[in-house]
Structure 1
Amino acid sequence: MHDLTIVFHDAGGGHRSAAGALKTVLEQQYHPWNVTLLNLQELLEPIDFVHRATGLRIQDGYNLILKKGWTRLTPPLLTLFQRTIQLHHSRIVRILRTYWAQYPTELVLSVIPHFNRCLAQSIRPEMPNAAFVTLLTDLADYPPNFWIVPESEFIICGSQLARRQALAMGHAKERVYETSGMILRPSFYRKPEIDQAAETLKRGLRPDLPTGIVMFGGQGSASMLEIAKRLDQSSNQLQLIFLCGHNLELATRLRSLGLTKPAVIEGFTTQVEYFMSLADFFIGKPGPGSISEALQFGLPVIVEHNARTMPQERYNGTWLVEKGLGMVVPDFREIGTAVEQLLTKATFAEFRRNVSAYKNYAVFEVPLILDQITAEKAIETMGVVSPLASVDPFTNMAWAGLT
């Protein structure tokens, strides 16, 4: 059995979700992996100067920005954060080296940005034969020093653009892998077996109306209030499901609006798949996780792109439009017009066809890649060229019953 350590943190939630999804698949299928999850934020707690000064951990500050909708602040804060990492680089590497000395592993899989140079430089002195893999949980990199760094050894990308970015940095093509999308929990591949009309009625909704689901990740967003007001005042015949995550204040404010159109307002739920199965389209933040979850359930997507869009998510709207999977509005104040266009019979049918044709099996593809990397690394350690370097693990997905 091979040992694998997946490095994650809780800023935004998508990194933990990706780590957990991969751990589940690796442990449930035939892949011989002993998986350990390493929360880097907890490991680096002794040098978290923000926590010491304010009582607020960096990841909590990031999640507060999402919750309050203060995402205009992210570019300058991102620069400050990266400079802070550079300032503490040596200390971070020392802490990581101490960890690897105590808990050696055969492969380190990073599903986080910013720290990959630190990780690479800590791994090689302590575990010279270990493979270091960076898996992007964004559709594109936001250089410099975000996801892909010169020290990266193997890179797994979820889009053609991200792969091109890695190659442009000089990484060898045989060490840059492209999956069919973002990592999703395995549960998103098992749609709930429900009577949609009956469940819709149970929730106080009407089976004869198109249903939109509005979701902005685990922290919600104040933008949901604007969306609710605009759509409630529009002439569109529809109903909405609002998933507010941990933002209880947001859920309370939504309920106090006195919406006239049918609506379901939920706080944090573990039943995202259930609620998506009741919906016909998705409105939300342009995050790669939310977009990918919606597409997996066959939902065309509407997102916003403007100065409030976080830098690492700016490409996502372009990706959606290029693939014909959704629409992008410059401001959610225009959501009424966008929904009206989306629900036009011919337009909606075209979006549904495109979404239906899009297939994302990334969570099942990554274990194949890790198997290949492990074999290649073992052969490399023995001083010969790996015959697996040119193998495409995706030419036949029948092994998982996914074709």
Structure 2
Amino acid sequence: MSNTGGGHKASAEAIKAAFQETYGDKYEITIVDLWKEHTPVPFNAMPDTYSFLVRNAILWRITYQFTNPKLVHVPYLSAVSALVSRHVSKALDEYNPDLVVSVHPLMQHIPIKVLRDRIRAGASKPVNFATVVTDFTTCHNTWFCPGATRCFVPTDYCRDLAISNEMDPRQIIMHGLPIRPAFSRRLPPKPRLRKQLGMDPGLPAVLLVGGGEGMGALEETVAQLDGRLGDKCQVVVICGRNQKLQDRLRARPAGAGHPLLHVRGFVDNIHEWMGACDAIITKAGPGTIAEALIAGLPILLNGNVPCQEEGNIPYVVDNRVGAFETRPDRIAAIMDSWLLKGSRAWFADMGKRARALGRPEAVYRIVDDLAALTEEPYFDFGPATAALIGPDGAKKKKSWRPHKHPHGHPHGNGPMLAAAPA
């Protein structure tokens, strides 16, 4: 993986957790940041470069759009591959995986090429390569490499985009986004859950999420919610790693006339906080949206990373499970109408539509299919096909049988390498 945004790492960890829950210790799953840990300077600085670019929207938009066409990114990644392939090959030697899984858009073309070269040269056994797309709608074209064995996509939009990038429909499997298994478990009734979390069991509650770094205009939004909702509501703020923001929010006025404020930093029980609240305010990250849908929460989107998260906004709005607004005063007004002044039946219907779109089973279906891919190499697509090509370029007879149960349960126990950004 590569540490370019928390969503990729969360997806990898969700897949690992579902493997462990379903198959126990039958599989060894290793999550690796290939860019940071196994490429030379300057490529190992990619996570820091990404963080800089997304904070400079114009630069990020130019970079994203310039590299999106196949005519640009294919030769670019081929050139990069020539510089990093030796290092990536060493990593594959170290981990010796039975399956490589990518959850990052820049981790298809290079590792697939390295795998093919190793297999053709006899330096590696034939193995499969799977891509798990972790964007909802707007996807960079580098997600889709015809050289992958399988590509798991969350939506019809992503499936169509994969086909437009010359992937065969037989390579593409649509289950949904891989969300941590905790979201598939039944929670206590909302009043009891609120008491467990130290909340008021009877007050309407809004969840305000700032992401891992506490990004977004959280402080101003809290101030506007305070002025608009008063003490008729409680507000849960997840600040991520932003300790200064936590301190400032905890210093805000409290008591009569002010919302009951619950301030938290980085949490590992976000499923419980979502289950305890009535609505969520968050940026348009695909993982948080998917989690909120499973929880049946109406979603108010308050921002987005340019390009790759833009398509998530109409997905939420057009499916009538939420709204989009960036101005803190308007955000507070919308929350006022949702929680206090609007039709309760209309608000409840929005939550029902959200829950209907949620796919809590997706991660388990993905894991079952990945487990099947560890059984033996597939020779219809993917890097294992390189084993059928001799040094002279002529096709050889395969000595393995193609797997006949793509959705079956495995009996193997080899290691799996999750190659993606954290």
Using structure 2 for the length normalisation, give the TM-score: 0.77
User: What residue identity is the alignment partner of 1:133?
Assistant: A
Q: What does residue 75 of structure 1 align with?
A: 61
Matched, 1:349 2:348: yes
Shift of 1:354: 0.9
Equivalence map 1:181-192=2 (5 Å): 181-192=176-187
User: What residue identity is the alignment partner of 1:349?
Assistant: A
Q: What does residue 315 of structure 1 align with?
A: 311
CA distances 1:42-90 after superposition (whole Å, capped 9, x unpaired): 32353236x7xxxxx4424545777xx6556532454799988665331
Q: Paired residue for 1:154, among 125, 140, 150? A: 150
User: What residue identity is the alignment partner of 1:368?
Assistant: D
SS at match of 1:313: coil
Matched, 1:16 2:12: no
Q: Paired residue for 2:234, among 234, 239, 245? A: 239
Q: 1:65 to 1:247 in 2, by over 3 A?
A: farther
8 Å Cα contact 2:40/2:87 also seen in 1: no
Q: Paired residue for 2:172, among 166, 172, 176? A: 176
User: What residue identity is the alignment partner of 1:105?
Assistant: P
SS at match of 2:309: helix
Q: What does residue 268 of structure 1 align with?
A: 266
8 Å Cα contact 2:145/2:167 also seen in 1: no
Q: What does residue 201 of structure 2 align with?
A: 207
SS at match of 1:16: helix
8 Å Cα contact 1:72/1:309 also seen in 2: no
CA distances 1:95-129 after superposition (whole Å, capped 9, x unpaired): 11222234332221101112321111111111352
Structure 1, gaps ≥5 residues long? 1-7, 52-56, 394-403
Q: Paired residue for 2:330, among 331, 334, 341? A: 334
User: What residue identity is the alignment partner of 1:106?
Assistant: D
Q: What does residue 59 of structure 1 align with?
A: 47
SS at match of 1:89: helix
User: What residue identity is the alignment partner of 2:289?
Assistant: I
Q: Paired residue for 2:247, among 248, 252, 275? A: 252
Shift of 1:33: 3.2
Shift of 1:37: 2.0
CA distances 1:320-369 after superposition (whole Å, capped 9, x unpaired): 22333222225444202322343322320211221232341111011222
Using structure 1 for the length normalisation, give the TM-score: 0.80
Q: What does residue 223 of structure 2 align with?
A: 229
Matched, 1:366 2:363: no
- Partner Cα separation in structure 2 for residue 80 and residue 336 of structure 1: 37
- Partner Cα separation in structure 2 for residue 365 and residue 123 of structure 1: 26
Q: 1:337 to 1:222 in 2, by over 3 A?
A: same
Matched residues, number: 372
- Partner Cα separation in structure 2 for residue 98 and residue 61 of structure 1: 24
Aligned alpha-carbon RMSD (Å): 3.2
Matched, 1:113 2:108: no
CA distances 1:168-220 after superposition (whole Å, capped 9, x unpaired): 222111111101x2111112222444x64356457664333210101122111
Q: What does residue 325 of structure 1 align with?
A: 321
- Partner Cα separation in structure 2 for residue 263 and residue 88 of structure 1: 49
8 Å Cα contact 1:281/1:299 also seen in 2: yes
8 Å Cα contact 1:124/1:130 also seen in 2: no
CA distances 1:368-387 after superposition (whole Å, capped 9, x unpaired): 22245456844657489958
Q: What does residue 279 of structure 2 align with?
A: 281
Query: Once the two structures are aligned, what percentage of the paired residues are identical?
Result: 23
Q: 1:333 to 1:75 in 2, by over 3 A?
A: farther
8 Å Cα contact 1:283/1:302 also seen in 2: yes
Equivalence map 1:93-112=2 (5 Å): 93-112=85-104
Q: 1:125 to 1:347 in 2, by over 3 A?
A: same
Q: What does residue 43 of structure 1 align with?
A: 37
8 Å Cα contact 1:210/1:279 also seen in 2: yes
- Partner Cα separation in structure 2 for residue 226 and residue 270 of structure 1: 25
User: What residue identity is the alignment partner of 2:221?
Assistant: I
CA distances 1:299-322 after superposition (whole Å, capped 9, x unpaired): 1111035xx533111111122223
Q: 1:248 to 1:73 in 2, by over 3 A?
A: farther
Shift of 1:11: 1.9
- Partner Cα separation in structure 1 for residue 170 and residue 78 of structure 2: 29
- Partner Cα separation in structure 2 for residue 253 and residue 171 of structure 1: 50
User: What residue identity is the alignment partner of 2:213?
Assistant: Q
Q: 1:87 to 1:234 in 2, by over 3 A?
A: farther
Q: What does residue 25 of structure 1 align with?
A: 18
- Partner Cα separation in structure 2 for residue 225 and residue 274 of structure 1: 23
Q: 1:19 to 1:199 in 2, by over 3 A?
A: closer
- Partner Cα separation in structure 2 for residue 9 and residue 86 of structure 1: 19
Structure 2, gaps ≥5 residues long? 121-125, 386-397, 409-422
Q: What does residue 123 of structure 2 align with?
A: none
User: What residue identity is the alignment partner of 1:135?
Assistant: V
CA distances 1:103-161 after superposition (whole Å, capped 9, x unpaired): 3322211011123211111111113521111111111353343x123444421101110
Larger CA Rg, structure 1 vs 2: 2
